[in-house]
Amino acid sequence: MPPAHIELAALRKVYPARGGDVVALDGIDLAVARGAIHGIVGRSGAGKSTLIRCLTVLERPTSGTVTVDGEVLSDLSEARLRSARRRIGMVFQHVNLLDSRTIAANVAYPLEVAGMPRERRAARVAELLELVGLAGRGDAYPAQLSGGQKQRVGIARALATEPAVLLCDEPTSALDSATTRQILGLIRDLRDRLGITVLIITHEMAVVREICDSVSLLEHGRVVETGPVGDVVAVYGSRLARELIPVPELPLDDARSLVEVAYTTDDVATQDVLGAVAALGDGVEIAAGTIETLAGRRVGRLQLDVPAGDVDAALTRLRAAGVHAEVTR
Q: Does 139 bind other proteins (CB under 8 A)?
A: no
Using CB under 8 A, count the residues that bind other proteins.
Answer: 26
Nearest distance in Å: CB 185, ligand ATP = 24
Nearest distance in Å: CB 100, other proteins = 5
Nearest distance in Å: CB 166, other proteins = 12
Q: Which of 39, 42, 171, 300 binds ligand ATP (CB under 6 A)?
A: 42
Tell me how far apart the alpha carbons of residues 71 and 47 are, in angstroms, rounded to a whole number.
23
Question: Using CB under 5 A as the criterion, which residues of the chain lie in contact with Mg ion when the complex forms?
Answer: 49
Q: Which amino acid is present at 78?
A: E
Using CB under 8 A, which residues numbered 269 to 328 contact other proteins? none
Tell me how far apart the alpha carbons of residues 22 and 15 are, in angstroms, rounded to a whole number.
5
Is 243 strand, coil or helix?
Answer: helix
DSSP state of 85: G
DSSP state of 325: E
* Residue 26 C-beta-side C-alpha neighbours within 13 Å: 13
25, 54 contact by CB (below 8 A): yes
215, 232 contact by CB (below 8 A): yes
Of 17-25, 106-114, 272-280, 316-324, the window that binds other proteins (rule: CB under 8 A) is 106-114
The helix or strand, by DSSP H or E, that contains position 10, with its residue range, turns out to be: strand 4-15
User: What, of other proteins, ligand ATP, Mg ion, none, does residue 22 touch, CB below 5 to 8 Å by kind?
Assistant: ligand ATP
Using CB under 8 A, which residues numbered 58 to 97 contact other proteins? 58, 81-83, 85-86, 88, 90, 92, 94, 96-97
Q: Does 146 bind other proteins (CB under 8 A)?
A: no
* Residue 148 C-beta-side C-alpha neighbours within 13 Å: 15
Nearest distance in Å: CB 38, Mg ion = 17
Is 194 strand, coil or helix?
Answer: helix
Q: Nearest-CA neighbor of 287 among 315, 329, 226, 238?
A: 329
Q: Does 110 bind ligand ATP (CB under 6 A)?
A: no
Nearest distance in Å: CB 53, ligand ATP = 8
Q: Which is nearer to other proteins, 4 or 88 (CB)?
A: 88
Using CB under 8 A, which residues numbered 46 to 65 contact other proteins? 56, 58
Residue 247 CB contacts under 8 Å (≥ 6 apart), including other chains: 288, 289, 290, 301, 302, 303
Residues near ligand ATP (CB under 6 A): 15, 17, 22, 24, 42, 44-50, 203
Residues near other proteins (CB under 8 A): 56, 58, 81-83, 85-86, 88, 90, 92, 94, 96-101, 109-110, 113-114, 141-143, 157, 161
